[in-house]
Amino acid sequence: MAYDGKIMRRALARYEEDKQRRQESYQVRRRTVYSRIPRIEAIDKELKTTMSRLISSALQRGTDPVPAIRVLRDRNLDLQRERAELLTRHDYPADYLEEKPNCALCGDTGYRQGSVCRCLQEYYTREQIKELSNLLDMGTQSFDTFDFKWYSDRVSPEQEISPRANMERNFDLCQDYANEFGPRSSNLLLCGDPGLGKTFLSACIARVVSEGGYSVVYDTASHIFSQFESAKFHRDGDYGSDPEADVNRCLQCDLLIVDDLGTEMITSFVQSALYQIVNTRLLTGKKTIISTNLNPDQIGSRYSGQILSRIEGEYEILPFFGTDIRRLKREGI
């Protein structure tokens, strides 16, 4: 599973901040107990110092430290019992002053057996959803809020099925894609006129796949191509961003969603950048979703036959048709 370095750095920062807050809360808790029950502070000091003093004494005399360790063990057990009794007597849980890691799997390190632990993964997912929310309405765009009422159930002479039946098919495919996303998933081309739900379904997929722990980059085609151009000519990105890092994110993330392909100014550089994106991600097994108002033939004539060949051969094509939903909503239909 690929991780976005920029998002992981933010996740680690939040992770460490929360760990520090827990440590500060523990220190406050301990000081409160010490002020109320001074004997517990004395017990804790003795528990910390007894081991080193007894073992050091035994070693210096050249004697076997095992008997001293046994004495220490018995003494420590007595102190721990006294400590627990004092806490419960003052209405505290017996383990109130034990420093327990928030995550028992990794001990609050964030990593387990050389991999990102589940606890840090949750921070990563939250930060990634924040990143996606900069472009998408992640609060309302979900499969649960999708409304089919805007799609006609009448079949036109140009189509074999109605817009509603077609959208129900596309919806089911996109929902299954999101829920079952993994290395064996396909690539998707969502194509059709504006205002038919392509961006909405893309956002739904982005949310579910991100919550599944995968790295997702969602961006408009024009901004992606701008970052590729800035990286090639060593220019600063928007708002001081690092274009080379953004290019690497697009090429290496688990799922790249390219929105509004075809709205950018077409140049030979754009054609080359799109070929690099499509081809590189196919070669590395990374998954891509492209949303566009162009049909496949228009993609071929606008970009190249090579790009169209790869899309037709390696992408599942989902056509969208019907009446612009934004217009229907404006007209109150």
**DSSP assignment, residue 320?**
E
pLDDT at residue 61, rounded to an integer: 58
Query: Which of 304, 310, 316, 242 has its CA nearest to residue 270?
Result: 304
Phi, psi values for residue 130, rounded to 5°? -60, -45
Distance CA 171, CA 67 (A): 72
Pairing of strands 115-116, 111-112: antiparallel
pLDDT at residue 185, rounded to an integer: 95
pLDDT at residue 125, rounded to an integer: 84
- Asked if residues 223 and 186 have their Cβ atoms less than 8 Å apart, the reply is no
pLDDT at residue 58, rounded to an integer: 60
pLDDT at residue 128, rounded to an integer: 81
**Total residue count of the chain as it appears in this document:** 333
85 is written with which tokens? 């009794």
248 is written with which tokens? 């690497």
As averages over each run of 10 residues, the pLDDT of the chain (333 residues) reads 79 91 91 93 85 63 67 83 91 88 88 87 84 67 84 84 93 96 95 90 91 89 91 64 81 93 92 95 95 94 94 95 81 64
- Asked if residues 6 and 241 have their Cβ atoms less than 8 Å apart, the reply is no
Q: Domain 135-331's class? A: alpha beta
Q: In a 3-state reduction of DSSP, which class is residue 316? A: strand
- Asked if residues 167 and 319 have their Cβ atoms less than 8 Å apart, the reply is no
pLDDT at residue 330, rounded to an integer: 74
Distance CA 166, CA 151 (A): 9
pLDDT at residue 56, rounded to an integer: 67
pLDDT at residue 118, rounded to an integer: 87
* Dihedral sign of CA atoms 154, 158, 163, 165 in order: positive
Global confidence as pTM = 0.73
Query: Which of 316, 121, 131, 143 has its CA nearest to residue 219?
Result: 131
Q: Cα–Cα–Cα angle for 228, 232, 233, nearest 5°?
A: 120
pLDDT at residue 112, rounded to an integer: 86
Measured N-to-C along each axis, helices 221-232 and 243-252 cross at an angle, to the nearest 10 degrees, of 120
In the chain, where the domains are located: 8-111, 135-331
**CA-based diameter of the chain, in Å?**
101
